[in-house]
A and B are shown apart, each in its own frame.
Chain A
């Protein structure tokens, strides 16, 4: 028991690595602030292009979305980070992470938006258009607000997944929370820093996970 506490819950070590982990948390939040808006915007674009009437754009895009949903994000990240330099394209860890996340998250967000837009009946489009609104205005003012509300649980739940996913950036030495914790672990030969990181992730994400559960129940009873 003593040994377990020493290995996983060593308070002295936790206090010592706290500033390092706090900096890691800052980097994680910075990364989230980059990749979440990028993914949300990219996903909306994907959904609109997939919903459009242009068949020439539709099929290649659908193939691309399935491709990026099939490839594990870590594979994309390593491909961009250590594969592209062979072709003379050297990306910084930040750029590689953003690119890999963009490919992955805009595909997932795109599918969610698409489900939302499809949940709005044709009658709504027709009614809005008949009042004199243009196609774009109908989309922005009539369809999207309802579509987003319908798929809000999925949007939030996917965002939780994206925040969790930022931990894979540690694999390409991006100094986010898990990377800092793992570095502290290898310096102290003790797992308490990783436990501390786990606690920080839980403190950050637990409220969101609860929110997802509540939203799911709320929409279900509508």
Chain B
């Protein structure tokens, strides 16, 4: 057997691919579902927290800032293990995909809050005053004048952050969420061949390369508009 053949047999064996592509496809579906749920809840929660912070209620702001700092500093895997293995000990049993969704949403919310808040504070004071003087209430000013600008400012930094956090769905494999990596490693240990693992890696790359490229495009587009 030539080296090339051996390489193909190890990483790209056709029979293996035929046998395992349904389970990898199943993993892709799970990854996409969780990623979509995380993006939706994480960004919404982040926007909500940033808006809440704009009212400058001391007690609430302290809580928000602590929440944001903790989830920016804590490795997501630590939070995942803590919740997944800790809560059953106090009688709360959450399914593994719920734990993954919850932790990643909170992490994304923390980063999104910080980015939206930076956008809110960068809006000139004059805009607030002008909007209030036309008769808009504080909440209306926030919702119709400030937030649209804050969200636009936040798009480039948020894009990269969101991509990075969505990729963390792979961490779910540690607690047995049936996403791509989990399916791939399971298939690898059944088959004793590295092909399923390679398929998993390729699936991730196919899924995320377009996202990364679009992210790069968004970044340059917004940079150009600001210049």
Residues of A within 8 A of B (CB): 3-4, 7-8, 66-67, 69-76, 78-79, 82-83, 86-87, 160-161, 164-168, 170-171, 178, 181-182, 185, 189-191, 194-195, 197-198, 201-202, 205-206, 208-210, 213, 216-217, 220
Contact = CB atoms under 8 A, between A and B. Distances in A.
Contacts of A69: 163, 208, 212
B148 to A, nearest CB: 19
A206 B6 CA distance: 49
Contacts of B73: 160, 164, 201-202, 205-206, 208-209
Contacts of B79: 198
Contact of A86 (B74, B90, B171, B194): B194
B172 to A, nearest CB: 10
Interface in B93-117: 114
B31 to A, nearest CB: 10
Contact of B69 (A72, A79, A209): A209
A67 B206 CA distance: 9
Nearest to B171: A74
Interface of B: 6-7, 10-11, 69-70, 72-79, 81-82, 85-86, 89-91, 114, 118, 122, 163-164, 167-171, 173-174, 180-181, 185, 188, 193-194, 197-198, 200-201, 204-205, 207-209, 211-213, 216
Contacts of A185: 81, 85
Contacts of A213: 114
A215 to B, nearest CB: 12
Closest 7 CB pairs of A and B: A191-B86, A70-B208, A72-B170, A205-B73, A167-B75, A86-B194, A164-B75
